[in-house]
Amino acid sequence: MTSGYSELKSAKIVGIRWDTQDTATIRISLLDEEDRRHYSFKPGQFNMLYVPGVGEAAISVSSTPEGSDVIEHTVRAVGYITRALLSLKEGDVIGFRGPYGNSWPVESVMRQNVLVIGGGIGVCPLRPAIYYLLKNRKKYSSVKILYGSRTPKDLMFPDEYSSWRESGAEVHITVDRGDENWRENVGVVTTLLNKVEVKPENTSALVCGPEIMMKFTAIDLVMRGIKPENIYLSMERRMKCGIGLCGHCQFGGFFVCRDGPIFTYKQVEKLLNVRGI
């Protein structure tokens, strides 16, 4: 489900925080006061960010969905547009369109046990959902956050884990390779499922990370009794238009920008087994 908010707006960079060696959170504010007042998004949606003279990229929102004049996008340098974004400085102006896409089902899973499972930078599109779940913690039976990265230095938002726990979430962290100071779990993120109680009859899972990680996480969750329609994945494809017209983000019979980026495992299970889609 896309938004009609497609006119290119101007936004100023008001802050850049480097999270890891190649990843930073860019904080922007729309220049027009009316645009700032009317902008809102739902957890899981994305915006199109335009670097003048370079190009445009779809970037998930990583800030709180509770109204703010500042919008955060966490960006990893993986291509020429994202590298250009990360070369900008506070005060620079970029183009902005959005929000686009559907959202995590944070309202429809109320009164359930919610598993939030992130891998690598995949925790960034989950972060607004985490904010929402914990702000409304009493409306959920339980909230369990499982997050993994390659190394301790690659972990995103480590300063927030304690506040997540204090807000009522059960939080488990893992890395593929630890160091001499690492005291938590070592292994892929699915190993953390052995550390939590999963009640499949009343559990939904929100999953985001590398596609191979999401595939095997979903398989593991199904083996534990969670229904495929209760497992939600955030799919990533190269998006250019954001509204389902250009075809760049086609995924089987879906367009990720128009029909996603959030899909149930039931919707995409067969597609995840087809190479090259």
Q: If we measure between CA atoms, which residue out of 71, 44, 84, 76 comes closest to residue 60?
A: 44
Tell me the domains of the chain and their CATH numbers.
Answer: 9-100 (2.40.30.10), 113-273 (3.40.50.80)
Mean pLDDT for the stretch of residues 7-28: 97
Q: Are 230 and 202 in contact (CB under 8 A)?
A: no
Report the pLDDT value the prediction gives residue 276, as an integer from 0 to 100: 57
155 or 243, which is more confident: 155
252 or 13, which is more confident: 13
How many CB atoms within 10 Å of residue 170? 15
Report the pLDDT value the prediction gives residue 240, as an integer from 0 to 100: 52
Report the pLDDT value the prediction gives residue 101, as an integer from 0 to 100: 93
246 phi, psi to nearest 5 deg: -80, -25
| Those residues with Cβ within 8 angstroms of residue 123's Cβ, 6 or more apart along the chain or in another chain | 147, 156, 157, 208, 209
| Those residues with Cβ within 8 angstroms of residue 221's Cβ, 6 or more apart along the chain or in another chain | 115, 193, 198, 205, 231, 265
Q: If we measure between CA atoms, which residue out of 196, 231, 234, 235 comes closest to residue 217?
A: 231
Mean pLDDT for the stretch of residues 54-79: 93
Q: Burial level of 111, CB count in 10 A (0-12/13-18/19+)?
A: exposed
| Those residues with Cβ within 8 angstroms of residue 197's Cβ, 6 or more apart along the chain or in another chain | none
Confidence band, pLDDT 50/70/90 cuts, at residue 119? very high
Min mean pLDDT across 181-185, 191-195, 269-273 is at 269-273
Peptide bond into 99 cis (omega under 30): yes
Does 220 have pLDDT greater than 50? Answer: yes
Does 108 have pLDDT greater than 90? Answer: yes
Does 51 have pLDDT greater than 60? Answer: yes
H, E, C per residue of 148-163? EECCHHHCCCHHHHHH
Average pLDDT in the chain = 91
Q: Are 272 and 211 in contact (CB under 8 A)?
A: yes
Q: Are 146 and 117 in contact (CB under 8 A)?
A: yes
Whole-prediction pTM value?
Answer: 0.92
Mean pLDDT for the stretch of residues 248-266: 76
